[in-house]
Amino acid sequence: MTNQIELSGVNKHYGAFHALKNINLSIAKGTFVALVGPSGCGKSTLLRSLAGLETITEGELKIAGELMNNVPPRKRDVAMVFQSYALYPHMTVEENLTYSLRIRGVAKAEAKKAAEEVAATTGLSRLLKRYPRELSGGQRQRVAMSRAIIRHPKAFLFDEPLSNLDAALRVHMRKEIRALHDRLHATSVYVTHDQIEAMTMADHVVVMREGVIEQQGQPLDLYDKPANKFVAGFIGSPAMNFIPATVNEDGKSLSLDLGTIRQKVAIDHQLQPGRKVTAGIRPEHIGTTGAGQGSFDVPIAVVESTGSSTFLTAATTPELTIVETGRGKVHAGETIGLIVESSQLHLFDQTSGMRI
């Protein structure tokens, strides 16, 4: 299958600032890709480069097999959907939808028909005569998407489109956007700083930091096998626990350094005795039991319940976060036993942060 979008060796400089560093990314037709990372890592710059709103400094950018480096935005045949919707306030929904067709010379009746068809797909049929100010946030977002859909672009580019919506609507719109993507057999690139959004919506997740792609792959592969400590800490909520550790003389176990607690745990592979590593374990992978019955005992400082799950904070150095489903019976101030299994440990080199 040909790739709909292909970036090779892409670099972007804003003056002296190096915003994108050697980006290599292939997006197959029909794929939903999420670009995720902390604020300022270059997500919007990458998306805007695809749209042609930024010029890349180095490398190749292809859309549907054609080199796009010097092609102006309107000739790239991609559609961008923004957080701010960017609707024309003095135009009705229908006029907002037909505008891009009309300026390209599509006849009025034909444009109207196209608007009606798209509106039927996005649930806007009854709202075509309204003005943006007469719509809810979710409805405006749908207009913004419809305006992209009506052009049948080669790719949809989304830049944090749900950030302005409240939590419940955001969860709803995630599903709606994904369903629309599936129905249209679209190719979508979706920028978000929210790893849950990325994980739940995308087929392929690209994790960025400081202009670099740290890792890309299927959502659960990133969760199961993060390539480095950054990705391990970024994907998953609450975040993975990181514990400094030293490989023991036998090379088959670690000594975890939890402040006053030194705990030996077995590891699955043979490592150089004395090697400094970081042991990672997800809060949901630590088991709990009564004091004296687990791998080791810890005092619990904080207990927080959301109703469906309970978050425990162990008073160790570093602190450990443990998540249990259900209500749990532990109270703050109690000492409990923790169960840590070697198969649940992620090991990272302490210096490079790379997965071992």
Chain residues in the site for ligand ADP (CB under 6 A): 14, 17, 19, 37, 39-45
Q: In terms of CB distance, is 150 or 189 closer to ligand ADP?
A: 189
d(C-alpha 139, C-alpha 128), whole Å: 11
d(C-alpha 152, C-alpha 349), whole Å: 47
Cis, peptide link before residue 238, omega less than 30° from 0: yes
Q: In terms of CB distance, is 42 or 226 closer to ligand ADP?
A: 42
Q: Which residues pair with 3 in a beta bridge?
A: 28
d(C-alpha 350, C-alpha 277), whole Å: 4
Q: In terms of CB distance, is 35 or 118 closer to ligand ADP?
A: 35
Which of Mg ion, ligand ADP, none interacts with 132 (beta carbon under 5 to 8 A by kind)? none
Q: In terms of CB distance, is 41 or 320 closer to ligand ADP?
A: 41
Minimum CB separation of residue 101 from Mg ion in Å reads 29
Minimum CB separation of residue 211 from Mg ion in Å reads 13
Contacts 24+ apart (CB under 8 A), 309-313: 311/238, 311/283, 312/288, 312/336
Q: In terms of CB distance, is 36 or 322 closer to ligand ADP?
A: 36
Per-residue binding string, Mg ion, 36-55, x by CB under 5 A, is: --------x-----------
d(C-alpha 156, C-alpha 77), whole Å: 9
Minimum CB separation of residue 43 from Mg ion in Å reads 5
Which of Mg ion, ligand ADP, none interacts with 14 (beta carbon under 5 to 8 A by kind)? ligand ADP
Burial classification of residue 260, based on how many CB atoms lie within 10 Å of its CB (0-12 exposed, 13-18 middle, 19 or more buried): exposed
Structure tokens that stand for 65 in this block: 């097999």
Minimum CB separation of residue 181 from Mg ion in Å reads 20
Minimum CB separation of residue 140 from Mg ion in Å reads 20
| Residues within the interface to Mg ion (CB under 5 A) | 44
